[in-house]
Amino acid sequence: MPEAANTTQSIVDVFLDNFNVFWNYFLVSMKKFDPMNPFWIITMICLITFTLELILPKKQPYSPVGRKNFLLDLFYVLFIDVIFLSIGFFAFTNAVSWGFEKIVVAAGGHIPLVDISLPANLKWLEFIIFFILVDFAQFFGHWLLHRVEFLWKFHKIHHAQETLGFASTRHFHWGEMLVFKPLLYIPFSLLGLDVTSYFAYYLWFGLFLTFFSHCNVDIDFGFLNRIFITPQTHYWHHAKNIPGRYGVNYASSLSIWDQLFGSYYLPKDKKLKPVLGIPDNDVPDSFLGQFLHPFMVLFGRKQKQSTIGGKEVRETKGKK
Ligand SMILES: [Zn+2]
Ligand SMILES: [Zn+2]
């Protein structure tokens, strides 16, 4: 149908336009330091969390630099935050949002569907609402990554890590982003939220928490564990010696979601330590091996192992 052909062509145009916008933005950004620019925010968060990891007491008995995967994790930061974005993920997300909005309008709706944007003097409140909505979407997406066998094949790359450090948060398969990030940002155009005015604050806060939660630091965060994710709770998310089939502590920034939905776990006995990794780990050590691994399993080139959560191990060890 001519209309469908036009729509397809338009999505490609939107993709290419955004691709160019991203590249120009990236090249200009790199030349001048700006603490509110995403690339500089990520660079500074890496430096801050790496410094914290160096100076604070260690949870695991390895050095932040000498541990296995230190360089691989740094490469993952470069891959996810620069290479993958630059080859089109940013453009892909915008093109999907654009296509989704077209469908809403074609179905008789209008954009935004419900306008919850607030006036300029209440943008701080709009930021809090945005943060809570995004964080819940992240929590739910992460919950699904652990429960849907197809998605777990991709998310398993993040959980196969047996040592963690600040950059381990970016050690995940890019396939996760293709599914979840567009879904995450579509609702905001439907709600009339123009996030550009506060997106940098979101990055500073959200990225700091996620990078820091992977740091190899041994501190008791006390009541803060009940509000934000911390290395204390997130290391249990990476543990293979936990109760239950699907894991615990899915939160991305706010641990309130885990408490509301019953997935919060932090043993009172501080002598209990998380053993990081997954049972029957069949994930290769190399970047390329990990890049291909989910597809090799899906297309039958690799024997299927380690089904969701490693039921046998998780159900037989530890009690809340
Ligand atoms: Zn997970
Ligand atoms: Zn993690």
* Rg of the Cα atoms in the chain: 20
Residue 31 has pLDDT above 60, yes or no: yes
Between the CA of 106 and the centroid of ligand 2 the distance, in Å, is 39
For residue 308, the model assigns a pLDDT of: 54
Percent of the chain with pLDDT over 70: 89
Convert the pLDDT of each residue in 116-130 to its tens digit.
Answer: 889 888 999 999 999
For residue 311, the model assigns a pLDDT of: 40
Convert the pLDDT of each residue in 36-49 to its tens digit.
Answer: 988 899 999 999 99
Helices 149-159 and 175-190 pack at an angle, to 10 degrees, of 110
Contact yes or no for 77/214 (Cβ under 8 A)? no
If you ran DSSP here, which 8-state letter would residue 58 be given?
P
Split into its structural domains, the chain has a count of 1
Mean pLDDT along residues 224-250: 91
Token pair of 8 as six digits: 């397809």
Contact yes or no for 102/111 (Cβ under 8 A)? no
Contact yes or no for 47/142 (Cβ under 8 A)? no
Convert the pLDDT of each residue in 73-119 to its tens digit.
Answer: 999 999 998 888 777 777 777 788 788 888 888 888 888 888 888 98
Considering every ligand atom, which ligand is closest to the CA of 210? 2
Considering every ligand atom, which ligand is closest to the CA of 167? 2
The confidence band for 5, taking pLDDT boundaries of 50, 70 and 90, is very low
Q: Give the domain extent around 214.
A: 2-316
Between the CA of 193 and the centroid of ligand 2 the distance, in Å, is 28
- Output the furthest CA–CA distance in the chain (Å, rounded): 67
Which carries the bigger pLDDT value, residue 26 or residue 248?
248
Between the CA of 88 and the centroid of ligand 2 the distance, in Å, is 24
Between the CA of 94 and the centroid of ligand 2 the distance, in Å, is 26
Convert the pLDDT of each residue in 143-173 to its tens digit.
Answer: 999 999 999 999 999 999 999 999 999 999 9
Residue 293 has pLDDT above 80, yes or no: yes
For residue 8, the model assigns a pLDDT of: 59
